[in-house]
Chains A and B, each alone.
Chain A
């Protein structure tokens, strides 16, 4: 997995109410959610963000609610991937399940500025900022979750398991 894109920078503890406010949760249509992505953190974000852009944030990104609408909104807004110092655990699961690539990278958010271009090499596990030589390490993805990605997400993984067992697995 490789991504290169212009970045939008957010601080620590960006919660899911800022990513997609609850007033929009009466819809789960990705196009509707995308129009309000990050609205309560930066009202102009849905207008400004371009396809392939990257979000770089501080610690505890995606804290709060379990709403899967949050990674759906980010993905539908065209964001290629999210890089943060750390992620809240439910958002972390949801992002994998939704197929939104996310990377834990310590230190990056403290040195970048809005508009920088970063290059993410998920295979080598490193991130660089265009015009700078320093390389940032990406925390490795646990092997089980890599398997989920290879299967095409959690539901595809479940489908494969169900098919392999000829039925629902014994509980």
Chain B
């Protein structure tokens, strides 16, 4: 029986052969990731084993990003636990404030993940690396501890759903809009326990940044992982960056998918996820005139350079609406530096935006942009659960950076074409 792309990668990483969906396997793990919220619990569990080191110090990656720069003493203590662990076990892939980034933007940028990898991370958005043709999935802290000790992780071989995108995208429509549309179509548990495999000419035309955005949000449909086929865009991205050679796997032509969805992207306009589920998705045309108090541009979903470029294109020569706070978070130090050199950060500051150092802060209601009761935000992040960004009675709408920038100018949710014309960049 034919295998899916996900099954091919898993089979390459385990002893078992002829995998079938539902089977439990033990896989070799290429990269294991933790952050300042999840690593301290993993470290506690790891230290209880009484062994003298991690399975491979070069394959463990630790990134303080959630509550850094340390927001309070408790956060500082957690970051310190992780820093000391990294020193104790000579983990060189620990990224200090000033060199770090939001983990899921940072790992691809640093070339730590490559095509064909099996990656686990104690963070649900670890699925982001599927954009590179890797199998990547989120786990908990105890699973991370077990992998740090053994280099292996158990998985249930997932069934797969195939998503085929064809046609030409409308102006201002990005990977964010395609994935929001898809989650809106299948629901927040529409891919529960499954792999989401993306294909079709309309995804082949997407940039790596757009693919990373799409894979990032597959967890919002309940998926185990999301994955793209390796093509020229992938190779160009990995070239000169990936620290290990890419390994390219392909789905069998007779691979079995439990479900297939076909989308004509020419019919998809910018999309908005309404409170309080990422699957509560409607076209921007049905959201216009909703007033907002805060706009957040950034996160592991949409804080990459091309995201900032689109936002700057719309904000150039314009002002943020006086009733709106616009907060921009470049996702990594490198993105920050490049945005600085390109003049993008100047555009933001001149428009009246606050520009922050990289952090997950506001996305999860941690710090740097918390909402009060009754306030409403439009964010380029990935979740809009009740209270996600602050008070339990605050609201979050999710959208692309283009919609976010246009909305910051008008003070209400707005199609980018209304502010910046019919031609997108």
Contact = CB atoms under 8 A, between A and B. Distances in A.
Contacts of A162: 49, 51, 149-150
B122 interface: yes
A155 B145 contact: yes
Contacts of A161: 150
A26 B78 contact: yes
Contacts of B193: 89
Interface majority SS on B: helix, strand, loop or mixed?
Answer: loop
A40 B78 CA distance: 24
Interface string A54-95: 000001100111111100000000000000001011100110
A158 B28 contact: no
B143 interface: yes
A106 interface: no
A154 B189 contact: no
Given A142-B156, A155-B146, A28 B41 contact: yes
A153 B151 CA distance: 18
A157 B24 CA distance: 16
Given A23-B366, A66-B124, A171-B151, A93 B140 contact: yes
B399 interface: no
A67 B192 contact: no
A134 B150 CA distance: 46
A121 interface: no
Contacts of A154: 142-143, 146
Given A26-B67, A28-B40, A86-B189, A93 B143 contact: yes
Given A59-B189, A89-B224, A144-B154, A171 B28 contact: yes
Interface string A24-58: 01111000000000011101000000000000000
24 contacts: A13-B188, A15-B385, A17-B364, A17-B365, A18-B385, A21-B365, A25-B67, A26-B72, A26-B77, A39-B392, A63-B188, A63-B222, A66-B141, A68-B38, A68-B41, A90-B138, A90-B139, A94-B140, A97-B143, A158-B145, A169-B150, A169-B151, A169-B152, A171-B55
Interface of B: 24, 28, 37-38, 40-41, 44-45, 48-49, 51, 55-56, 66-67, 71-72, 74-75, 77-78, 121-124, 126, 138-143, 145-146, 149-152, 154, 156, 188-189, 192-193, 219, 222, 224, 277, 364-366, 383, 385-388, 392
